[in-house]
Amino acid sequence: MTTGYPFLFYGAAPTEWYGGGRLDYEVRFAAPPSPAARAAIATLVRTELATKREIRLDAHDRWPWADAWTRLVVRTRTMEPDWTVFFEEVGAFFRALHAAWPIELVVCRSVDTHGATRDADDPWTAWSLAQRPEVGARPSFGSTRASHDRFAWQGPALPIDAAFDAEFEAARVLASAAK
Protein backbone atom coordinates (compact mmCIF):
# COMPACT_ATOMS: atom_id res chain seq x y z
CA MET A 1 0.00 0.00 0.00
CA THR A 2 1.17 3.51 -0.70
CA THR A 3 2.02 5.66 2.30
CA GLY A 4 0.35 8.88 1.30
CA TYR A 5 -0.25 11.60 -1.22
CA PRO A 6 0.28 15.37 -1.29
CA PHE A 7 -3.45 15.72 -2.13
CA LEU A 8 -6.77 14.24 -1.03
CA PHE A 9 -7.45 10.89 -2.72
CA TYR A 10 -10.88 9.30 -2.42
CA GLY A 11 -10.78 5.67 -3.58
CA ALA A 12 -6.99 5.28 -3.64
CA ALA A 13 -7.15 1.48 -3.32
CA PRO A 14 -10.78 0.36 -3.35
CA THR A 15 -11.82 -3.19 -2.57
CA GLU A 16 -14.87 -3.02 -4.86
CA TRP A 17 -15.45 -1.09 -8.05
CA TYR A 18 -17.42 -1.41 -11.23
CA GLY A 19 -16.04 -1.31 -14.74
CA GLY A 20 -13.64 -4.25 -14.47
CA GLY A 21 -10.39 -3.08 -16.01
CA ARG A 22 -11.58 0.50 -16.58
CA LEU A 23 -11.69 2.99 -13.71
CA ASP A 24 -12.88 6.60 -13.96
CA TYR A 25 -11.08 9.32 -12.02
CA GLU A 26 -11.94 12.97 -11.51
CA VAL A 27 -9.09 15.34 -10.69
CA ARG A 28 -9.31 18.84 -9.30
CA PHE A 29 -6.11 20.81 -9.67
CA ALA A 30 -5.23 23.57 -7.21
CA ALA A 31 -5.74 26.04 -10.09
CA PRO A 32 -6.87 25.65 -13.70
CA PRO A 33 -3.88 24.42 -15.75
CA SER A 34 -2.62 26.91 -18.31
CA PRO A 35 -2.39 25.81 -21.96
CA ALA A 36 1.37 25.26 -21.46
CA ALA A 37 0.70 23.16 -18.34
CA ARG A 38 -1.88 21.08 -20.22
CA ALA A 39 0.70 20.45 -22.96
CA ALA A 40 3.20 19.34 -20.28
CA ILE A 41 0.54 17.06 -18.77
CA ALA A 42 -0.14 15.52 -22.19
CA THR A 43 3.57 14.71 -22.59
CA LEU A 44 3.84 13.45 -19.02
CA VAL A 45 1.06 10.93 -19.63
CA ARG A 46 3.13 9.13 -22.27
CA THR A 47 6.42 9.32 -20.39
CA GLU A 48 4.96 8.27 -17.06
CA LEU A 49 2.95 5.37 -18.46
CA ALA A 50 5.81 3.97 -20.54
CA THR A 51 7.33 2.48 -17.37
CA LYS A 52 4.09 1.04 -15.96
CA ARG A 53 3.32 -2.67 -16.02
CA GLU A 54 -0.38 -2.66 -15.16
CA ILE A 55 -1.93 0.69 -16.15
CA ARG A 56 -2.57 2.47 -19.43
CA LEU A 57 -4.49 5.47 -20.70
CA ASP A 58 -5.79 5.03 -24.23
CA ALA A 59 -5.53 7.86 -26.75
CA HIS A 60 -9.23 7.44 -27.61
CA ASP A 61 -10.31 8.11 -23.99
CA ARG A 62 -10.58 11.89 -24.16
CA TRP A 63 -10.29 14.09 -21.05
CA PRO A 64 -13.14 16.55 -20.49
CA TRP A 65 -12.00 19.75 -18.74
CA ALA A 66 -13.95 22.30 -16.68
CA ASP A 67 -12.01 25.03 -14.92
CA ALA A 68 -9.59 23.21 -12.56
CA TRP A 69 -11.30 19.81 -13.07
CA THR A 70 -10.69 16.99 -15.51
CA ARG A 71 -11.85 13.41 -15.82
CA LEU A 72 -9.79 10.51 -17.15
CA VAL A 73 -10.02 6.77 -17.60
CA VAL A 74 -7.28 4.42 -16.38
CA ARG A 75 -7.29 0.95 -17.91
CA THR A 76 -5.49 -2.31 -17.22
CA ARG A 77 -2.76 -3.47 -19.60
CA THR A 78 -3.47 -7.16 -19.07
CA MET A 79 -6.50 -9.42 -18.78
CA GLU A 80 -5.45 -10.58 -15.30
CA PRO A 81 -3.83 -7.60 -13.59
CA ASP A 82 -2.08 -7.60 -10.25
CA TRP A 83 -4.51 -5.18 -8.58
CA THR A 84 -2.07 -4.22 -5.83
CA VAL A 85 0.45 -3.14 -8.46
CA PHE A 86 -2.32 -1.52 -10.52
CA PHE A 87 -3.39 0.79 -7.67
CA GLU A 88 0.24 1.51 -6.72
CA GLU A 89 0.89 2.56 -10.33
CA VAL A 90 -2.27 4.70 -10.36
CA GLY A 91 -0.98 6.43 -7.23
CA ALA A 92 2.47 6.97 -8.77
CA PHE A 93 0.82 8.37 -11.92
CA PHE A 94 -1.18 10.90 -9.92
CA ARG A 95 1.93 11.88 -7.91
CA ALA A 96 3.73 12.57 -11.20
CA LEU A 97 0.73 14.52 -12.47
CA HIS A 98 0.80 16.52 -9.22
CA ALA A 99 4.49 17.32 -9.83
CA ALA A 100 3.60 18.70 -13.27
CA TRP A 101 0.68 20.81 -11.98
CA PRO A 102 -0.47 20.70 -8.32
CA ILE A 103 -3.52 18.53 -7.64
CA GLU A 104 -5.95 19.32 -4.84
CA LEU A 105 -7.93 16.08 -4.93
CA VAL A 106 -8.56 12.86 -6.88
CA VAL A 107 -11.83 10.92 -6.76
CA CYS A 108 -12.13 7.39 -8.12
CA ARG A 109 -15.66 7.52 -9.53
CA SER A 110 -15.72 3.76 -10.10
CA VAL A 111 -15.79 2.81 -6.42
CA ASP A 112 -18.96 0.86 -5.77
CA THR A 113 -19.24 0.79 -1.98
CA HIS A 114 -17.88 3.48 0.30
CA GLY A 115 -19.77 6.35 -1.26
CA ALA A 116 -23.10 5.08 -0.01
CA THR A 117 -21.97 3.88 3.39
CA ARG A 118 -19.20 6.38 4.18
CA ASP A 119 -16.96 3.39 4.94
CA ALA A 120 -13.47 3.78 3.59
CA ASP A 121 -11.95 0.91 1.64
CA ASP A 122 -8.41 2.05 2.29
CA PRO A 123 -6.59 4.15 4.90
CA TRP A 124 -5.92 6.99 2.48
CA THR A 125 -9.61 7.34 1.64
CA ALA A 126 -10.37 7.33 5.38
CA TRP A 127 -7.82 10.10 5.88
CA SER A 128 -9.21 12.09 2.94
CA LEU A 129 -12.75 11.78 4.30
CA ALA A 130 -11.54 12.90 7.73
CA GLN A 131 -9.87 15.96 6.19
CA ARG A 132 -12.76 16.91 3.95
CA PRO A 133 -15.93 14.81 4.05
CA GLU A 134 -17.59 17.03 1.43
CA VAL A 135 -15.76 17.82 -1.79
CA GLY A 136 -18.32 20.43 -2.77
CA ALA A 137 -19.46 21.53 -6.19
CA ARG A 138 -18.04 19.82 -9.24
CA PRO A 139 -18.70 20.11 -12.96
CA SER A 140 -21.17 17.92 -14.76
CA PHE A 141 -19.26 15.18 -16.52
CA GLY A 142 -22.41 13.62 -17.91
CA SER A 143 -22.44 10.66 -15.50
CA THR A 144 -24.07 7.66 -17.10
CA ARG A 145 -24.11 5.32 -14.12
CA ALA A 146 -26.37 5.74 -11.10
CA SER A 147 -23.63 4.74 -8.65
CA HIS A 148 -21.78 7.96 -9.56
CA ASP A 149 -24.42 9.64 -7.44
CA ARG A 150 -23.70 7.38 -4.46
CA PHE A 151 -20.69 9.48 -3.46
CA ALA A 152 -21.64 11.32 -0.30
CA TRP A 153 -19.06 13.98 -1.08
CA GLN A 154 -20.20 14.66 -4.62
CA GLY A 155 -21.91 17.96 -3.87
CA PRO A 156 -23.90 20.08 -6.30
CA ALA A 157 -22.84 20.59 -9.89
CA LEU A 158 -20.93 23.72 -10.81
CA PRO A 159 -22.66 26.02 -13.30
CA ILE A 160 -20.19 24.88 -15.98
CA ASP A 161 -20.11 21.78 -18.13
CA ALA A 162 -16.97 19.91 -18.99
CA ALA A 163 -15.69 20.21 -22.55
CA PHE A 164 -12.88 18.67 -24.54
CA ASP A 165 -9.75 20.72 -25.18
CA ALA A 166 -8.75 20.09 -28.81
CA GLU A 167 -5.16 21.29 -28.27
CA PHE A 168 -4.71 19.04 -25.24
CA GLU A 169 -6.15 16.03 -27.08
CA ALA A 170 -3.90 16.67 -30.10
CA ALA A 171 -0.86 16.92 -27.82
CA ARG A 172 -1.85 13.69 -26.04
CA VAL A 173 -2.30 11.83 -29.33
CA LEU A 174 1.00 13.20 -30.63
CA ALA A 175 2.78 12.16 -27.42
CA SER A 176 1.23 8.67 -27.66
CA ALA A 177 2.41 8.33 -31.25
CA ALA A 178 5.97 9.15 -30.18
CA LYS A 179 6.30 5.89 -28.20
Digit-coded pLDDT (tens) for 86-113: 999 999 999 999 999 999 999 888 876 5
- The pLDDT value recorded for residue 7 is 93
pLDDT tens-digit map of 65-92:
988 999 888 999 888 999 999 999 999 9
Domain assignment present for 31: yes
Determine, yes or no, domain membership for 1.
no
Share of the chain above pLDDT 90, in %: 28
The whole-number pLDDT of residue 34 equals 93
Q: Per-residue confidence at 120, pLDDT binned at 50, 70, 90?
A: low
pTM, rounded to two decimals: 0.79
The parent domain of residue 110 ranges over 8-177
Average pLDDT (134-144) is 62
In a domain, residue 18? The reply is yes
With cut-offs at 50, 70 and 90, classify the pLDDT of residue 2.
very low
In a domain, 116, yes or no: yes
Q: At what angle do helices 166-177 and 35-50 cross, to 10 degrees?
A: 30
DSSP state, 153? T
- Amino acid 169: pLDDT: 83
**Residue 155 counted as domain residue:** yes
The count of structural domains within the chain is 1
Rounded to whole angstroms, the Cα distance separating 120 from 132 reads 13
Nearest in space to 7 (alpha carbons), one of 99, 113, 139, 134: 99
Q: Is residue 3 included in any domain, yes or no?
A: no
Question: In this structure, is residue 91 part of a structural domain?
Answer: yes
With respect to residue 2, please indicate whether it lies within any of the assigned structural domains: no
Alpha helices in 8-145, H assignment, sequence order: 35-50, 83-100, 114-117, 123-131
